[in-house]
Amino acid sequence: MKDFGLKKLYYSISEVSKITGLEQYILRYWENEFDQLKPSKNRAGNRIYTNKEIKLIIKIKKLLRDEKYTIEGAKKILLENLEEIEQIGDLFQAENIVEVIPPAPVENIPPEVSILKDLEEIKKFLLDLKGKL
């Protein structure tokens, strides 16, 4: 995978194709398969991808190609991650915990970092925090 410093707000499908190493038709197909992947379109009707969508594409690629999930299996993993993130948000609201944590610079995060590992660490942190309240 190519190193990319995500410096722009929006990327064209051809740029995303080069960044991710995927053909444009694959990207368009995945838009139909994965509800979370819905790039906006500019005035000319061309797809424009955000940094978040590029990260999602890389995660989908890892699930399908490296971890050998089926499309249905990858959908399930992504949905479980989404549900866990929402539950963490509910925990914050339920405990009236409001804290703003600045995001880490994108260029310092290696693309091979697993979202599942990150979620487990966040979950453990929140449960520890809840136990201290």
Hey, where are the domains in the chain? 11-132
Query: What are 47-53's contacts with CB under 8 Å, separation 24+?
Result: 47/12, 47/13, 48/10, 48/11, 48/12, 49/10, 49/11, 49/12, 49/13, 49/15, 49/16, 50/9, 50/10, 50/11, 51/6, 51/9, 51/106, 53/16
Q: How much is the pLDDT for 121?
A: 74
Each residue of 80-121: pLDDT tens digit? 887 666 665 555 454 444 444 455 555 555 555 556 666 677
Q: What is the pLDDT of residue 113?
A: 55
The matching CATH number, chosen from 1.10.10.60, 1.10.1660.10, 1.10.760.10, 1.10.3720.10, for 11-132 is 1.10.1660.10
Pairing assessment for the beta strands 40-41 and 47-49 based on DSSP bridges: antiparallel
- The amino acid occupying position 131 is G
pLDDT for residue 125 is more than 80: no
- pTM score: 0.59
pLDDT digits (tens, 9 = 90+) for 33-74: 999 899 999 999 999 999 889 989 999 999 999 999 999 999
Average pLDDT over residues 11-20: 94
